[in-house]
């Protein structure tokens, strides 16, 4: 006789339509926010209308980008800032773009643990976004996650990214205040120069100021600043601040500088200009990504045109038009 093990009850979770999550998100429900971010990250078409609705409730938060090469000390600094800002009463949101793939483990977990310690004690919202697997594109879903936190009443919202790569730069330039973090002892050059992000900094921070190499990095940066250019039409002068997340040195000053920059943007009228440039970057970035996606789909049909070009039946330009689904004169049909 055969006996069958009793089947385990299957736990069914019903899918809540994204539109139904919107009121909860706006009311600040943490599970609702987390769910909505997951849907933005996965690029669910079903979530688009809800995200569009959420977008209407954004525009209140101060968005702060913190960028710097891997290992510069960004996550550690963000943890210190969460504590400092939360003790001033701010409801802090953090979106960290992990440089590592979701499959390589280690560092991601480290970041999450450290930051969530700070988040737990301060009731801040911290979320890591993986750099792979974004159907809608990394920049789009990261900034949608920022929108979700903005609509939910978080401010400031800190975005942590390594400042290399088109997507990453796109993300950080969508911030109102950009903090570029340089670490001492990672070579004589200022690493941000290599990454091309030095000139976008509203605030320069030098991490690990408890290290003996820190003053040299600070003066190298100040020297560079004297030569460098900053956004034209601004009378904000980017400060250079050494900070230590270990000793806590000058974290408060950095926090104040971030706040001062926000006041400056609002009082000088520069905020409107920056908002426009953020929106421009977001539209263009999204359009570029969508175009690339469509192109990649079409590129699958390339094979059939190759032989026609080899045979001299059509020339490469006409083949390219056909590949794109345009007419022979290159008009979009
Ligand atoms: N001495 C000292 N070490 C620090 C300080 N801040 C961070 N570190 C150390 O620097 C290393 C990198 O710090 P993270 O905060 O993970 O750097 P990150 O920029 O977030 O790195 P990625 O996320 O990998 O790009 C860790 O071993 C930290 O403990 C500091 O203020 N002083
Ligand atoms: Mg980090």
pLDDT digits (tens, 9 = 90+) for 170-182: 888 899 999 999 8
Residue reference for tokens 């953090």: 94
The C-alpha atoms of residue 271 and residue 262 are separated, in whole angstroms, by 8
Asked if residue 104 and residue 50 are part of one domain, the reply reads: no
The C-alpha atoms of residue 244 and residue 206 are separated, in whole angstroms, by 8
pLDDT of 62 higher than 90: yes
* Structure tokens, 188: 């004589």
Atom 32 (ligand 1) nearest CA: 208
- Identify the domain boundary among 30, 57, 84: 57
Q: Is residue 331 part of a domain?
A: no
Is 115's C-beta closer than 6 angstroms to any atom of ligand 1?
A: no
Asked if residue 81 and residue 211 are part of one domain, the reply reads: yes
Q: How far apart are the CA of 30 and the centre of ligand 2, in A? A: 23
Q: Is residue 86 part of a domain?
A: yes
Q: Is residue 50 part of a domain?
A: yes
Residue ranges near ligand 2 (ion) with Cβ within 5 Å: 74-75, 111
Q: Is residue 320 part of a domain?
A: no
Q: Which atom of ligand 1 is nearest to the CA of 207?
A: 31
pLDDT of 228 higher than 50: yes
Instruction: Report the CATH number that the domain containing residue 131 is assigned in CATH.
Output: 3.40.50.300
The preferred substitution site among 65, 67, 70, 71 for testing ligand 1, maximizing ligand atoms within 8 Å of CB, is 71
pLDDT of 286 higher than 80: yes
Q: How far apart are the CA of 329 and the centre of ligand 2, in A? A: 50
Q: Is residue 109 part of a domain?
A: yes
Q: Is residue 10 part of a domain?
A: no
| Residue in 56, 30, 141 with CA at minimum distance from that of residue 95 | 141
pLDDT at 100: 53
Asked if residue 247 and residue 132 are part of one domain, the reply reads: yes
Domain that holds residue 48: 15-57
Asked if residue 145 and residue 165 are part of one domain, the reply reads: yes
Q: How far apart are the CA of 107 and the centre of ligand 2, in A? A: 8
Asked if residue 173 and residue 115 are part of one domain, the reply reads: yes
Asked if residue 105 and residue 89 are part of one domain, the reply reads: yes
pLDDT of 29 higher than 50: yes
Q: How far apart are the CA of 44 and the centre of ligand 1, in A? A: 34
Q: How far apart are the CA of 71 and the centre of ligand 2, in A? A: 7
pLDDT of 187 higher than 70: no
| Mean of pLDDT over the chain | 84
- Identify the domain boundary among 268, 292, 317: 268
Whether 60 contacts 150, CB under 8 Å: yes
pLDDT of 188 higher than 80: no
Q: Please, which pLDDT band fits residue 291 given cuts at 50, 70 and 90?
A: confident
Q: How far apart are the CA of 99 and the centre of ligand 2, in A? A: 8
CA angle 134, 140, 142 (to 5 degrees): 80
Whether 181 contacts 69, CB under 8 Å: no
pLDDT at 1: 46
Asked if residue 94 and residue 226 are part of one domain, the reply reads: yes
Asked if residue 49 and residue 83 are part of one domain, the reply reads: no
pLDDT at 111: 58
* Structure tokens, 238: 């980017």
- Identify the domain boundary among 268, 303, 318: 268
- The total of structural domains in the chain comes to 2
Is 71's C-beta closer than 6 angstroms to any atom of ligand 1?
A: yes
pLDDT of 109 higher than 50: no
Asked if residue 249 and residue 140 are part of one domain, the reply reads: yes
Q: Which atom of ligand 1 is nearest to the CA of 98?
A: 23
Is 179's C-beta closer than 6 angstroms to any atom of ligand 1?
A: no
Q: How far apart are the CA of 96 and the centre of ligand 1, in A? A: 14
Asked if residue 148 and residue 82 are part of one domain, the reply reads: yes
Asked if residue 220 and residue 91 are part of one domain, the reply reads: yes
The C-alpha atoms of residue 239 and residue 259 are separated, in whole angstroms, by 13
Q: Tell me the per-residue pLDDT of 112-126, one tens digit each, with 9 for 90 and over.
A: 556 677 666 677 899
Q: Is residue 231 part of a domain?
A: yes
Asked if residue 69 and residue 47 are part of one domain, the reply reads: no
Burial 36-55 (b: 16+ CB within 10 A, else e): bbebbbebeeebeebbebbe
pLDDT at 207: 92
Q: Is residue 326 part of a domain?
A: no
> Higher pLDDT residue, 195 or 258?
258
In the DSSP assignment, the letter for residue 45 is G
The C-alpha atoms of residue 43 and residue 35 are separated, in whole angstroms, by 12
100 φ, ψ (degrees, to nearest 5): -85, 155
Is 261's C-beta closer than 6 angstroms to any atom of ligand 1?
A: no
| Residue in 123, 162, 110, 112 with CA at minimum distance from that of residue 33 | 123
Is 211's C-beta closer than 6 angstroms to any atom of ligand 1?
A: yes
Is 137's C-beta closer than 6 angstroms to any atom of ligand 1?
A: no
């Amino acid at each position: 006789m055969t006996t069958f093990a009793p089947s385990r009850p299957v736990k069914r979770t019903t899918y809540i339509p994204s539109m139904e999550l919107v009121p909860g998100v706006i009311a600040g429900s943490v599970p609702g926010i987390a769910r909505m971010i997951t849907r933005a990250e996965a690029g669910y078409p079903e979530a688009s209308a809800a995200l569009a609705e959420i977008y209407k409730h954004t525009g209140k938060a101060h968005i702060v980008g913190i960028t710097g090469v891997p290992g510069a000390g960004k996550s550690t600094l963000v943890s210190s800032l969460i504590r400092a800002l939360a003790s001033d009463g701010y409801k802090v949101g953090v979106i960290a773009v992990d440089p590592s793939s979701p499959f390589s483990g280690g560092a991601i977990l480290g970041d999450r643990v450290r930051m969530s310690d700070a988040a737990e004690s301060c009731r801040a919202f911290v979320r890591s976004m993986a750099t792979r697997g974004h159907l809608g594109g990394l920049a789009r879903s990261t900034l949608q996650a920022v929108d979700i936190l903005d609509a939910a009443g978080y401010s400031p919202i800190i975005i942590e990214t390594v400042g290399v790569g088109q997507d990453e730069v796109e993300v950080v330039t969508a911030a109102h205040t950009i903090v570029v973090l340089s670490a001492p002892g990672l070579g004589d050059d200022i690493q941000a120069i290599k990454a091309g992000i030095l000139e976008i900094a509203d605030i320069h921070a030098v991490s690990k100021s408890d290290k003996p190499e820190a003053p040299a990095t600070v003066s190298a940066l100040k020297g560079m600043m004297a030569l460098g250019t900053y956004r034209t039409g601004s009378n904000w002068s980017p400060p250079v601040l050494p900070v230590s997340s270990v000793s806590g040195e000058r974290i408060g000053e950095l926090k104040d500088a971030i706040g001062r920059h926000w006041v400056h943007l609002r009082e000088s009228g520069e905020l409107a200009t920056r908002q426009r440039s953020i929106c421009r970057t977001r539209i263009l970035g999204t359009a570029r990504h969508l175009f690339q996606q469509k192109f990649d789909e079409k590129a699958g049909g390339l094979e059939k045109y190759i032989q026609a070009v080899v045979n001299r039946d059509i020339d490469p330009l006409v083949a390219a038009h056909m590949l794109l689904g345009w007419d022979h004169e290159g008009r979009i049909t």
